[in-house]
Amino acid sequence: MKTLALSMAAALTIGASLCASAASISNNDNMNHENPFLTPYNTIFEIAPYSRIRTSDFIPAMKAGLKEQEQRLQTIIKNRATPDFDNTILPLEDISPILERVVSAYFTYDNALSTPELSAIADEAMPLVNEASNMVYLNDELFKKIQYVYDHRNEQNMTPVQKRLVEKYYRQFAERGAALSPDKKKELVDISNELSRLFVKFNKNLLAATNDFFVNVGEDAVAGLPESSLGVAREEAKTRGLDGYVFTLHAPSRLPVLQYADNRDLRKAIYEGYINLASSGDYNNLPVIQQIVALRDKKAKLMGFDNFAQMMTSRVMAKTPEAAEDLLMQVFTPAVARAREEVADMQAIVDTEGGNFKIAPWDYYYYAEKVKKQKFDLDETEVRPYFSLDNVLKGLFGAAEKLYGIKMVEIPDAPKYMDEVTVYDVQDANTGEHISVFMTDFFPRASKRQGAWMEQIQSAGEYDGGVMKRPIVYNVGNFTRPSGDTPALLTLDEVETTFHEFGHALQGMLTKAPYKSLAGTNVDRDYVEMSSQMNEHFAFTPELLKEYAVHYKTGEVIPDSLIRKLDASSKFNQGFVTTELAGAALLDLEWGKQSGDNIDVIAFEKSVSDKIGMPEEITFRYRSPYFKHIFGDDGYASGYYTYLWSQVLEADAWELFEQNGVFNPETAASYKKNILESGDTEDALILFERFRGHQPDAKALLRLRGFE
């Protein structure tokens, strides 16, 4: 397939960097090769020298980083001076430059370009990453010093931001078991190591299962699909040596089938392939989930909590799983009511057409599109030609310049982990001052995990010797590739996703927090999604659409009639969208309450669905075997609810932009200062109230979704 061919080409392009046995590397080169992670990068803005990185560099560099970290920890511990901010807390901010460089690069590759060679070292790499964390967070002598600084923080001469950093370190150490007895610490280490192994297995299974599934059909089965989708499917079939069309579970292939394919059997095949992903066979994640749930329960009890959900919510704004569930149900109940209205509208079309069947989950996208056409005279195939990726990026960057005074200047010769990556110097639009490095990687590959995300390769803040560095941030997506003379055309959902992830990037890039642990997106999990979801709103504002939404063939600016249709339909299908999201968040919290290692995953999902009243026409946004947010690592585990929690903040904040004018400079300046630049330098609620003028109004979300 085209995607696979490009993926393999990319892997060969960086063969010297990821495969020590690559033919392009001579034995002499191997003898003279220097591990690039062991010294500071001598590149523009200290971007990783990707062309010099090899798979064989990662493990030795991690081990060297562990030694460096141990030496620096001993320096802190053996210091006989009274523990204070400068001799105890500040050194922890840059405890091992080697580890920071190698671990950052490792996860970049693991998520975006996971070659077989890289995948093979995961079982050795992840325990080393855990060892690095445990070496710090479970060190008794270090914790005693941190506790002393914490206990005397009001007596020592610290700024408010320094006090907050001390409090954050103390809380994080306590949360990770620093106060446990030696035997319990050992048990915690064993549990964490085993969880890391299971996370690796879950992710490997998911990637393999996704790449393994395809549906091959002929011309008679593809009526209704847009040419952009058919072109990719034809190329996919050719690559596999097959006739006709091949559709896969990657979003650019799967979603057009569900949305446009007239053939109900094809829609059903793709839908069932997706919802049963990694649920059986060689790539079965069900037993992996059972083990993860059991280990998390043990970990929570070891830490003094009743269950994992209680432990995870105690660390963020929600504080308890009950508070998170209460918010979710306030949104879920009206969302389900709206979804039932949406289904009734769809069923009416089925009946009118003589379909003689009841709306099923694989019909939802398809008939939602028909209802949208009927109600708003809006056909997404009519809109999509106005949203080429290049034009969307112009709108994205143009909005950022208008709102926050930054401009994006491409750096063609900058290091990159593959040719498809684009690298930008983010500058102050008035002075040209360097603010950040920003990278983009937008097309699917067999070696890239699904979805879209933002990561910080380098955080802003103070480094060794008081050096202040600016961030390196990247956005990744999985959008439909260009095909023939047709550029990459984004769906409305993909346009929104592009703005969403750039919202995260803005918080990472614009931060002015002086310390890495407080900078950028290093904020509470149930606050971090606010800036990303806020940025989505700008995508479809009439003022901005007129600047970037241009038809790729005719050069015509999007007409007012289409803008009005987009605005009128903006609350369309929100019942479905909100129900599947809130349902997945409730499922996640229920998983966090479970114990035991023999839970029937499928039966458990069914019980949660019945308990909350999930409509039979809608599935959880992610079913457990491919719910990477909560089983691929601990990042969003018992925390997927944070998307909706943050949407309350976002909805309330957006109302201020609407009241004052969406590009009002004073509103934008206040938002930039209090939200995007501040990071975790103050409590999130204080920062929000400073911007908004009042505490978050939960009903703002219901108003935004059209439920009130």
Length of the chain in residues, anyone? Answer: 708
Other CB atoms within 10 A of residue 510 CB: 25
Closest by alpha carbon to 194, among 300, 104, 296?
296
Q: How far apart, in whole angstroms, are the C-alpha atoms of residue 435 and residue 454? A: 17
21 three-class SS = coil
Q: In what order do the strands lie in the sheet with 453-458?
A: 406-410, 422-428, 434-441, 472-476, 453-458
List helix spans (H) across 89-159. Answer: 97-112, 116-120, 122-137, 140-151
Alpha-carbon distances, residue 626 vs 115, 278, 483, 620, 631 (angstroms): 20, 7, 29, 11, 8
Dig out the tokens for 53 from the structure.
């990185």
CB 444 within 8 A of CB 478: yes
Per DSSP, 448 falls in state S
Contact between 426 and 54 under an 8 Å Cβ cutoff? The reply is no
Residue 61 tokens read as 């560099």
Strand partners, 469: 461
CB 354 within 8 A of CB 256: no
Structure tokens at 473: 């941030």
Residue 61's contacts (CB-CB under 8 Å, 6 or more residues apart) are 35, 37, 38, 98, 101, 102
Q: What angle do CA 459, 461, 463 make, to 5 degrees?
A: 100
| SS3 assignment for 261-304 | CCCHHHHHHHHHHHHCCCCCHHHCCHHHHHHHHHHHHHHHHHCC
Tell me the C-alpha distance between 501 and 202, whole Å: 24
- What does DSSP say about strands 434-441 and 472-476: parallel, antiparallel, or unpaired? parallel
Tokens standing for residue 47: 């971007």
User: In which element (H, E) is residue 194 found?
Assistant: helix 182-212
CA dist 478 → 44, 277, 618 (Å): 27, 18, 24
Q: Say which of 455, 501, 529, 590 is annotated catalytic.
A: 501
Please state, in angstroms and rounded to a whole number, the distance separating the CA atoms of residues 55 and 184: 35
93 is catalytic: no
CA distance 233 to 231: 5
3-state secondary structure 625-677: HHCHHHHCCCCCCCCCCHHHHHHHHHHHHHHHHHHHCCCCHHHHHHHHHHHHC
How much is the CA Rg of the chain, to the nearest whole Å? 25
C-alpha–C-alpha distance, residues 188 and 94, integer Å: 25
| Cα dihedral 242, 246, 250, 254 in deg (nearest 10) | -170
Please tell me the distance from the alpha carbon of residue 628 to that of residue 632, in angstroms, as a whole number.
4
Output the six-digit token pair for 99: 């580890």
Query: For residue 688, what are its two tokens?
Result: 């929000």
Catalytic residues: 501
